[in-house]
Structure 1
């Protein structure tokens, strides 16, 4: 983990700047059209009992966290992009959104926001892990591990090919090595949030403490 007194390095998302424009608008258009944009949330809901504490790390425009909150879970969303934070708060004003990236989700910061410091499930989907700052992948995974309650798990997912232009290409073997270095283990891997078989296009991971 970086020292708390040092500024955090810029994430790949932040460095993408204007190239990230349109992400929130695209999902808003899909929402308006009645498209299914919560497949990740349905899987997350199936992983925990009702009323679970869930952290939506990299919550974007709020589509996953809001759906889970509506199902009775205690959700904390964290999103550092101010444009997406504003969009999330406009769409779902009842969803608490912390304007923080993962490495800034310290116990002190969470406590100051009256948020839990441990979670039954951490949701980190939508390519979030391919947008963290270069060289911080293990630190990010370690922080997510430390936020798990006993028996807690992480649901993560990202493109293996064809992902956003500003994101890292995260080879599955490299990811598994980083997971292990962070004191986590891979419990399952799938090709999508519908639990289809592993493929070379997309990876969905269920992680827990090693």
Structure 2
């Protein structure tokens, strides 16, 4: 069995053991100040019927999954960082929070059905993956969607993963583009956009 490739996030956390704690406190502070930290989740909520099933992929300390749970959805959150998962469990009880590598995503093996109505991957998570695992992550998203489910992935330009390469990887791993946006508040994507929010369906057949 080949050795697992650590994500760039794990490498950052290993180099700075306080990084994950800083990240948790950053979002707790923003929330306490009344900042809007759930804009992505509002879009996902609008895509779900009442009581939908959502996977928060790379959930961090749970800001999106917590909002979706409060809105009445069944939420599973997965993150590779146990510090972030512990914060999610503390701050947002209710969802199922799991420590796991998105490149090895196999929720049925952990007793969780792979039939999500929406998978959301926000917060530049795709750019923190080890480049060699990106396609495995996208293929895992496709496998975990319900037949009519959708995957929504957002990240910024200039982070080492060209939008064109990402879209080609998605197409090669079972995902079909429905909509391309440049913001989580539905502004259209253009060639010079500095951010991409891609909405995919699962390829049929």
TM-score (norm 2): 0.90
Whether contact under 8 Å (2:104, 2:137) holds in the other structure is: no
Give me the whole-angstrom Cα distance separating, in 1, the residues matched to 2:107 and 2:160.
30
Tell me which residue corresponds to 2:90: 90
Tell me which residue corresponds to 1:204: 197
Matches within 5 A, 1:149-188: 149-161=146-158, 168-188=159-179
Q: 1:95-154: per-residue Cα shift (whole Å, max 9, x none)?
A: 32001121232144331xxx2222111011111111112211111100110000110100
Give me the whole-angstrom Cα distance separating, in 2, the residues matched to 1:47 and 1:125.
15
Cα RMSD, aligned residues only: 1.6
Q: Which runs of 5+ in 2 are unaligned?
A: none
Give me the whole-angstrom Cα distance separating, in 2, the residues matched to 1:8 and 1:45.
34
Which of 143, 147, 158 pairs up with 1:146? 143
Tell me which residue corresponds to 2:125: 128
TM superposition outliers: structure 1 runs of 4+ over 3 Å: none
Tell me which residue corresponds to 2:77: 77
Q: 1:48-92: per-residue Cα shift (whole Å, max 9, x none)?
A: 101111111110010000100111111011111011111111111
Answer with 146-155 or 125-134: which moved more: 125-134
SS at match of 2:60: coil
SS at match of 1:76: strand
The higher-RCO structure (CA 8 Å, 6+ apart) is: 1
SS at match of 1:16: helix
Give me the whole-angstrom Cα distance separating, in 1, the residues matched to 2:139 and 2:70.
29
Once the 2 structures are TM-superposed, how far is the Cα of residue 20 of structure 1 from its aligned partner? 4.1
Q: Which runs of 5+ in 1 are unaligned?
A: 162-167
Give me the whole-angstrom Cα distance separating, in 2, the residues matched to 1:20 and 1:127.
16
Whether contact under 8 Å (1:76, 1:98) holds in the other structure is: yes
Which of 119, 134, 137 pairs up with 2:134? 137
Whether contact under 8 Å (2:54, 2:73) holds in the other structure is: yes
Which of 146, 167, 185 pairs up with 1:194? 185
SS at match of 2:55: strand
